A and B are shown apart, each in its own frame.
Chain A
Amino acid sequence: AQKVTQAQTEISVVEKEDVTLDCVYETRDTTYYLFWYKQPPSGELVFLIRRNSFDEQNEISGRYSWNFQKSTSSFNFTITASQVVDSAVYFCALISSGSARQLTFGSGTQLTVLP
């Protein structure tokens, strides 16, 4: 069985603040893939990043950065200088060879960026 935990249900920040969204995962498989998706109020899940279990390099894309640490089974997401348009629900997800090929999602973190 696999599991993804996003302990932060809601986070509220003021524009231009940095914010980190936490994601902790559990899997017995050695090959797995981690994802972050953004869900704005419209409902569509927007893909942000994919990481495989063999690549622990951190990644930066503009104001977004991701910290993948296998030692702590975490895949955290940081938004630098947050903007109002970043307000959304963010989901962390996991898929592995033993997961019957299905994405397992965390419960999501509602991020509100106040002007």
Chain B
Amino acid sequence: KAGVTQTPRYLIKTRGQQVTLSCSPISGHRSVSWYQQTPGQGLQFLFEYFSETQRNKGNFPGRFSGRQFSNSRSEMNVSTLELGDSALYLCASRPGGLQETQYFGPGTRLLVL
């Protein structure tokens, strides 16, 4: 099976802009989670989608949002970008259950200038 794919791999934006990142899960996986990784805060959970519904949300401002489509592909959006949003954004998929392993994509590196 193909792994989790994320596009784009690299992005450069300026403050105030918005950005949309895309994630295609492993075939058959219905859960997609998003994480932000920064040198200062480490890996932090953003949100999880399952069957097009947000199932869980981390402690991030409302500027961070996401959605999931019927084919389980997911997008996350960050509006009004701030310098502190510069990070590696990782997407992970799993079939759906709590005990199941999350498999990660290669990530999108976002730089906000």
Contact = CB atoms under 8 A, between A and B. Distances in A.
A107 B48 contact: no
Q: Is the interface on chain A under 10, 10 to 19, 20 to 34, or 35 or more residues?
A: 20 to 34
A33 B102 CA distance: 12
Contacts of B109: 43
Contacts of B53: none
Interface string A60-100: 00000000000000000000000000000001000101001
Contacts, number: 53
Given A47-B101, A101-B48, A42 B42 contact: no
A102 B56 contact: yes
Given A45-B90, A95-B98, A102 B104 contact: no
Interface residues of B, number: 22
Given A42-B106, A44-B107, A45-B90, A105 B43 contact: yes
Contacts of B92: 45, 103
A82 to B, nearest CB: 23
Contact of A52 (B48, B55, B99, B102): B99
A91 B92 CA distance: 15
A15 to B, nearest CB: 27
Interface of B: 33, 35, 42-43, 45, 48, 55-56, 58, 88, 90, 92, 98-99, 101-107, 109
Interface of A: 33, 35, 37, 42-47, 50, 52, 91, 95, 97, 100-108
22 contacts: A33-B98, A43-B90, A43-B106, A43-B107, A44-B105, A45-B92, A45-B104, A47-B101, A47-B102, A47-B104, A50-B99, A95-B98, A102-B33, A102-B45, A102-B48, A102-B56, A102-B58, A103-B33, A103-B102, A104-B45, A105-B42, A107-B42
